[in-house]
Chain A
């Protein structure tokens, strides 16, 4: 037995894991009857369908050959997602101005074409200023310009 289709295999494994989680957590909710479905009825049904699909996918992975999974692009993945999460952390604490600057700077490192030069710094400052004006002043989104770390 050899995995001939890694994409099917891992996709199936993810479906199975999700299905088990859905069903196990769903057991905490009253199931009810089909005439009076409880909050746990539909989730359990969905989880079961997903489990079947997961099993089929895993099973098929041993039968039908398929393409391998191309390598993860770890650098852009971590930098793009990391920069966004960092924005979430910094927004209330350091304020919008710093949070945006960090989001843009860290995010930009994900591309190998990015350069640290006068143009990109000007673009960064311009974008931050634009967002502060449009979203905070214009649309009134409640984001602090200066965060709690700096007494904002």
Chain B
């Protein structure tokens, strides 16, 4: 059994004392950040990225992944306890989780979330182990045309899954692609859009954009709506679900896991979409749909499993194709590239230790979350009560130093300020910045593959449609885009994102 041997290799890597420690640090930091209001996983990973430069690639990626799913978990804790989703995928959890907490069942809600996440995480880890290698083998046969079409499909999916207007999401992708042009053209050596700044010769750092648009801009937006919030935190007691509760969460957890795993692979808002889809599915299947929104345990179990499964399976396209399913994965790709590793189909064979180590560490991370977080709930509750006005200056400090440390130049600090402004304007105009980040990441490879494909075909663009796989991918992209324009589906999509509120 190849898979078993590979998993054993992964286990060996992930269980080394150092990597175990990084995994622990990662999930701990991630949970802390997920609990703290006002910093999402994107800003956190961007801020902590510089700290991983000195680590070996495996350890760096293990820690960063730990932060990612730790943040998912922490986000649900605040959602349940104070009705404040720490990050967007836990919005759904707040609907019923907070109700349960108000009814004195906070402990059970938290335990349900933890158990659901754990089950989903375990299944999703197995899925990654089973499906990533064959997918990578297919991807090895990809030529430039297939890659180009695949990226187009990815970008289209991110547009369709983005919140708000399609038009603006599309524009955000194009602006992102255009920002990706800045720097030296690899084919001709021509400096493009550098405005004479030598600092731009290598392009704009994606951390600069991420921290500006997701770090600084969010701080300004949070301060705008700053109130004197005093959270009434419910006392947590009675952690273990009763036998009756178990019977009610088994189904939702299983369905949530399947749904989340499938949606997580799609580019765009994988985990967010997964939790919404699972919530509406459970509501439809429930014998007592009127309980939803009033503390239905299935409304916590399903979405929590779905978003954790989605978070995990979004690693599949990142590790096998080098294509990020969401901005966090884009940051992971950035982290790998800084370490000198090009994510793509060859990573599984050439960097077997890295790949399998990370896969197994995901599962270990989930175990750590389960045994760490229930006892630590008191600590998280105390962290929730840290007021925002004491918190955000520290975020600013980490953004400023973090951006500086990547290139050791203050130029990047100024550039981040500029993107902070752009991010705020975007928020004001109701444009979602996520597609921009994806466009930015995919821009350079997209252009590169298009150029190569056209060189090979001597300038005939039909090559994109003549290669069967490439044509299928483009057809899928077209279908996806067209489907959103169908009035009925369009209305459904708008409703989904409105209920997110």
List residues of chain A with CB under 8 Å of any chain B CB.
7-8, 10-11, 14-15, 18, 22, 25-26, 29-30, 33-39, 42-43, 46-47, 49-50, 53-54, 56-57, 60, 67, 69-70, 72-73, 76-77, 80-81, 83-85, 87-89, 91-92, 100, 103-104, 107-108, 110-114, 120, 123-124, 127, 131, 135, 139, 141-143
CB distance from A80 to the nearest CB of B (A): 5
List residues of chain B with CB under 8 Å of any chain A CB.
50-51, 54, 165, 167-168, 170-171, 174-175, 177-178, 181, 185, 187-188, 190, 192-193, 216, 219-221, 223-224, 226, 228, 387-390, 392-394, 396-397, 399-401, 404-405, 408, 410, 413-414, 416-417, 420-421, 424-425, 428-431, 447, 450-451, 454-455, 457-459, 461
Cβ–Cβ contact B389 & A114, under 8 A? yes
Cβ–Cβ contact B174 & A49, under 8 A? yes
Q: Can you list 21 A-B contacts (CB < 8 A)?
A: A11-B168, A35-B454, A36-B455, A36-B459, A39-B187, A42-B447, A50-B171, A57-B167, A70-B428, A76-B223, A80-B220, A80-B223, A84-B400, A85-B413, A88-B400, A103-B400, A110-B392, A111-B388, A120-B390, A124-B393, A143-B405
Cβ–Cβ contact A15 & B223, under 8 A? no
Q: In the bound complex, what is the Cα–Cα distance between A11 and B430 (angstroms)?
A: 9
Q: In the bound complex, what is the Cα–Cα distance between A67 and B420 (angstroms)?
A: 23
CB distance from B465 to the nearest CB of A (A): 15
CB distance from A147 to the nearest CB of B (A): 11
Q: In the bound complex, what is the Cα–Cα distance between A89 and B410 (angstroms)?
A: 8
Q: In the bound complex, what is the Cα–Cα distance between A91 and B410 (angstroms)?
A: 8
CB distance from B478 to the nearest CB of A (A): 16
Q: A29-B190, A35-B455 are in contact. Are A84 and B388 (CB under 8 A)?
A: no
Cβ–Cβ contact B413 & A34, under 8 A? no
Q: In the bound complex, what is the Cα–Cα distance between A142 and B421 (angstroms)?
A: 27
Q: In the bound complex, what is the Cα–Cα distance between A111 and B459 (angstroms)?
A: 57
Cβ–Cβ contact B431 & A39, under 8 A? no
Identify 17 new A-B residue pairs, CB closer than 8 A, beyond the known A43-B181, A49-B174, A112-B226: A11-B431, A34-B461, A35-B455, A37-B454, A43-B192, A57-B171, A73-B223, A81-B216, A85-B414, A87-B400, A91-B410, A104-B396, A110-B223, A110-B392, A111-B223, A139-B50, A142-B408
Cβ–Cβ contact B417 & A111, under 8 A? no
| Closest chain A residue, CB of each to CB of B458 | A35
Cβ–Cβ contact B429 & A113, under 8 A? no
CB distance from B155 to the nearest CB of A (A): 12
Q: A38: which B residues are within 8 A, CB to CB?
A: 188, 190
Q: In the bound complex, what is the Cα–Cα distance between A88 and B457 (angstroms)?
A: 48
CB distance from A122 to the nearest CB of B (A): 11
A-side interface mostly: helix
Per a CB cutoff under 8 Å, which of B54, B397, B447 touches A100?
B397
Q: A81: which B residues are within 8 A, CB to CB?
A: 216, 220, 417, 420-421
CB distance from A125 to the nearest CB of B (A): 13
Q: In the bound complex, what is the Cα–Cα distance between A112 and B428 (angstroms)?
A: 21
Cβ–Cβ contact A111 & B450, under 8 A? no
Q: B396: which A residues are within 8 A, CB to CB?
A: 80, 83-84, 103-104, 107
Q: B167: which A residues are within 8 A, CB to CB?
A: 8, 53, 56-57, 60
| Closest chain A residue, CB of each to CB of B390 | A123
Q: In the bound complex, what is the Cα–Cα distance between A26 and B405 (angstroms)?
A: 31
Per a CB cutoff under 8 Å, which of B192, B399, B428, B459 touches A39?
B192
Q: In the bound complex, what is the Cα–Cα distance between A140 and B389 (angstroms)?
A: 29
Cβ–Cβ contact B390 & A131, under 8 A? no
Cβ–Cβ contact A91 & B459, under 8 A? no
Cβ–Cβ contact A141 & B408, under 8 A? yes
Cβ–Cβ contact B216 & A80, under 8 A? yes
Q: A57-B168, A108-B393, A141-B404 are in contact. Are A87 and B413 (CB under 8 A)?
A: yes
Cβ–Cβ contact B410 & A69, under 8 A? no
Per a CB cutoff under 8 Å, which of B168, B393, B413, B454 touches A127?
B393
Q: Which residue, of A14, A34, A39, A67, has the highest number of chain B Cβ atoms within 10 A? A: A39
Q: A83-B396, A127-B394 are in contact. Are A42 and B459 (CB under 8 A)?
A: no
Q: Which residue, of B192, B228, B425, has the highest number of chain A Cβ atoms within 10 A? A: B192
Cβ–Cβ contact B170 & A53, under 8 A? yes
Q: B220: which A residues are within 8 A, CB to CB?
A: 73, 76-77, 80-81, 110
Cβ–Cβ contact A107 & B181, under 8 A? no
